Structure 1
Amino acid sequence: MDLHYLKLFHIVATNLSFSKTATQLHISQPAISMQIKKLEDDLGMPLFDRLGRNIYLNGHGKLLYEYTSKIFHLVEEAENKIQEMEDKIWGSLFIGCTNAPSIYVMPEIISQYRSLYPLVRVHLHLGNTYDIHNLMKLNQIDFAIIGGTIPDHPNIRSHKIWEDQVVLVASPENPLVDSGAPTRDQLLDQNIIAHDYQSKLYELAELIYKDLTLPFQPAMLIGSVETMKYLVAENHGIAILPYIAVKRELKDGRLKEIKFSNRNWQYDYHIVYHKNKETVPSMTRLIYLVEQYFKANKERLLYTE
């Protein structure tokens, strides 16, 4: 079997998409389809089920994918060993990240990292906590930055890098802003804008409303923190969001915090990795930069009332 075709198959099987693979590799979708067809012809068996516009690995494809995963893991391991011998930092790094840190933390860190280690190919996967957790269990990412609590798993290790707060925010035009501590009836009259229900932000918002003895019945479920902020600023409702995500808007007045006495809700960030994952220099250097970022920017990121 030609290693080139195996590599192409492995990428398509990982993406489960010819179009996504074409964009990733900068080659045409028909060219990818032809090469996959040639591999299937050489093997004498189909590898994918094609249902409408979607593709899925069949039994033969799943078996081959198990082996290609081992093959290219060994190739990457060999590259990393050679990298260590040459005292250069290069290779590929696959990072998972939940919504808030991916937008408000990682771009600055990755920019710094790429300036220091331009030979490393950085792949940042954005998803909710459960998506990232599953990718880690499948060994498809090297480590992750996750907001909120971490699901228990015997093979997953984590350590906290930042203690953030969550705040209830509203538009400056919302009457709650000027009413002091909001009453129960005032809060019941408000539309709730919540994050995607599979996210830790959704779970935390649900717990906060329970703490306030209020029903949690979102009027909108939004998968993007930026979209949530826009809708709140336009006075379509109120939302619970991490301080790191709204500190700029609170400072310039586009959003206002609704405060409660004697209540403090925490939203932590963690570095998460598989306990059996072999660490390589490209990974340890980026984890170090993440940790240093939070230490160096403590005053800027810290919640202030």
Structure 2
Amino acid sequence: MNLRQLEVFIRVAETKSMSKAAQQLYISQPAVSQTIAELEDSLETKLFERINRRLLLTNSGEVLYTYSKRIIGLLSEAQHQIKDLANLKRGKLSVGASTTIGIYLLPQIIGNFKKLYPNIEFIFTIDNTSVIEALLLDAQIDIGIVEGPIFSKDLELIHFAHDQLEIICSSEHKWARSQTKQITIEDLEKETLIFREEGSGTREIIENVLKSKGVNYRPQHILNNTEAIKKAV
């Protein structure tokens, strides 16, 4: 039994005629007759009785008609649902973002997206870059937005923006009072630094730069939130 057989069966049941069903389906009457015969053979029961040149459903035919209409209706509904998903008229999107992006950029990005596609439901996960990468690889989120490097070759990367990292210090620190505003490698090596936690994309980028410049840095405090670091300074 297949969908095409059910469609032919429904048309015969509703027109009460194989010839009319054939005309509406643009197929030959023998093809309709063969389809009904195959259905009856597979179900081992008669589906129609011929009365006064009309084909009327048997009790078994009535049961099959009810379920066939339901099946075809569900298929049509599924097709509409899938079309809506493809056109972003409805659906669910699971988004992961690294901590910095999740705090400062994600709300605006999602706000703009919701204006265009108001019926899309969002599920958010905010964590450091390494966690977001792991969630993507485990198919627990649909898309990740991070600022740090991604190491897996199984993920597709699209660069969408550029950012600039700055060193910050207290307004009471000697660097803030300096007239030159120049910080040397030696200056950095003398200071204790506040870093993000391991796995943070921001930390990964900073450490790569410091190592490339030969800086012997000393991260004395580790905080997992950019706002906490700003307040700690």
Partners of 1:93 and 1:120 within 8 A in 2: yes
Give ranges in structure 2 of 5+ residues lacking alignment: 1-77
Question: Kindly tell me: are residues 80 and 129 of structure 1, through their superposed partners in 2, closer, same or farther at Cα, counting changes over 3 Å?
Answer: farther
SS of the residue corresponding to residue 215 of structure 2 reads coil
Question: Kindly tell me: are residues 88 and 205 of structure 1, through their superposed partners in 2, closer, same or farther at Cα, counting changes over 3 Å?
Answer: closer
Partners of 1:99 and 1:127 within 8 A in 2: yes
Partners of 1:95 and 1:123 within 8 A in 2: yes
Question: Kindly tell me: are residues 143 and 167 of structure 1, through their superposed partners in 2, closer, same or farther at Cα, counting changes over 3 Å?
Answer: same
Question: Kindly tell me: are residues 121 and 173 of structure 1, through their superposed partners in 2, closer, same or farther at Cα, counting changes over 3 Å?
Answer: same
Could you say which structure has the larger radius of gyration?
2
List structure 1 runs of 4+ shifted beyond 6 angstroms. none
SS of the residue corresponding to residue 147 of structure 1 reads coil
SS of the residue corresponding to residue 210 of structure 2 reads helix
Which residue number in structure 2 is paired with residue 135 of structure 1?
135
Q: In structure 1, how many angstroms separate the alpha carbons of the residues matched to 2:185 and 2:135? A: 41
Which residue number in structure 2 is paired with residue 164 of structure 1?
163
SS of the residue corresponding to residue 92 of structure 1 reads strand
Q: How does 1:47-196 map to 2 (within 5 A)?
A: 81-84=82-85, 89-153=89-153, 155-179=154-178, 180=180, 181-196=182-197
More strand by share: 1
Which residue number in structure 1 is paired with residue 59 of structure 2?
none
Q: In structure 1, how many angstroms separate the alpha carbons of the residues matched to 2:92 and 2:110? A: 13
Partners of 2:88 and 2:120 within 8 A in 1: no
Which residue number in structure 1 is paired with residue 199 of structure 2?
198
* Identity across the alignment (%): 24
Which residue number in structure 2 is paired with residue 22 of structure 1?
none
Partners of 1:194 and 1:205 within 8 A in 2: no
Partners of 2:98 and 2:201 within 8 A in 1: no
Question: Kindly tell me: are residues 184 and 101 of structure 1, through their superposed partners in 2, closer, same or farther at Cα, counting changes over 3 Å?
Answer: closer
Q: How many residues align?
A: 154
CA RMSD, aligned part only? 2.4
The one of the two structures with greater contact order (alpha-carbon pairs below 8 A, sep at least 6) is 1
Q: In structure 2, how many angstroms separate the alpha carbons of the residues matched to 1:138 and 1:159? A: 19
Question: Kindly tell me: are residues 132 and 88 of structure 1, through their superposed partners in 2, closer, same or farther at Cα, counting changes over 3 Å?
Answer: closer
Question: Kindly tell me: are residues 223 and 114 of structure 1, through their superposed partners in 2, closer, same or farther at Cα, counting changes over 3 Å?
Answer: same
Question: Kindly tell me: are residues 110 and 216 of structure 1, through their superposed partners in 2, closer, same or farther at Cα, counting changes over 3 Å?
Answer: same
Partners of 1:194 and 1:222 within 8 A in 2: yes
Give ranges in structure 1 of 5+ residues lacking alignment: 1-76, 233-305
Q: In structure 1, how many angstroms separate the alpha carbons of the residues matched to 2:211 and 2:88? A: 52
Partners of 2:97 and 2:145 within 8 A in 1: yes
